[in-house]
Amino acid sequence: MIANVLAIAGVDPSGGAGLLADVKAISANGAYAMGVVTALTVQNTRGVTGVELVTPDFVTRQIDAVFDDIRVDAVKIGMVATADIARAIAAALKRHQARHIVLDPVMVAKSGDRLLAADAVAAIRDALIPLAEVVTPNLPEAAALLGQPEPADIAAMRAMAVALRALGPVAALLKGGHLPGAEATDVLADSGGLTEFTAPRIATKNTHGTGCTLSSAIAALLPTMPRAGAIGSAKAYLTAALRRADALTVGHGHGPLGHFPLA
Q: Which residues are catalytic?
A: 175, 207, 209-212
Q: How far apart are CA 253 and CA 220, in angstroms?
A: 28
Contact status, residue 175 vs residue 211, Cβ threshold 8 Å: yes
- Find the distance separating the first CA and the last CA of the chain, reported in whole Å: 26
Q: How far apart are CA 63 and CA 40, in angstroms?
A: 17
Q: What's the number of CA atoms in the CB half-sphere (13 Å) around residue 221?
A: 23
Q: How far apart are CA 58 and CA 183, in angstroms?
A: 42
Q: How far apart are CA 63 and CA 95, in angstroms?
A: 11
- Positive or negative, the CA dihedral 68, 74, 78, 80 is positive
Radius of gyration of the chain (CA): 17
Contact status, residue 164 vs residue 186, Cβ threshold 8 Å: no
Contact status, residue 110 vs residue 141, Cβ threshold 8 Å: no
- Where do the DSSP E strands lie in the chain? 4-11, 32-44, 47-53, 74-77, 101-103, 134-135, 171-174, 183-190, 193-200
Q: How far apart are CA 19 and CA 34, in angstroms?
A: 9
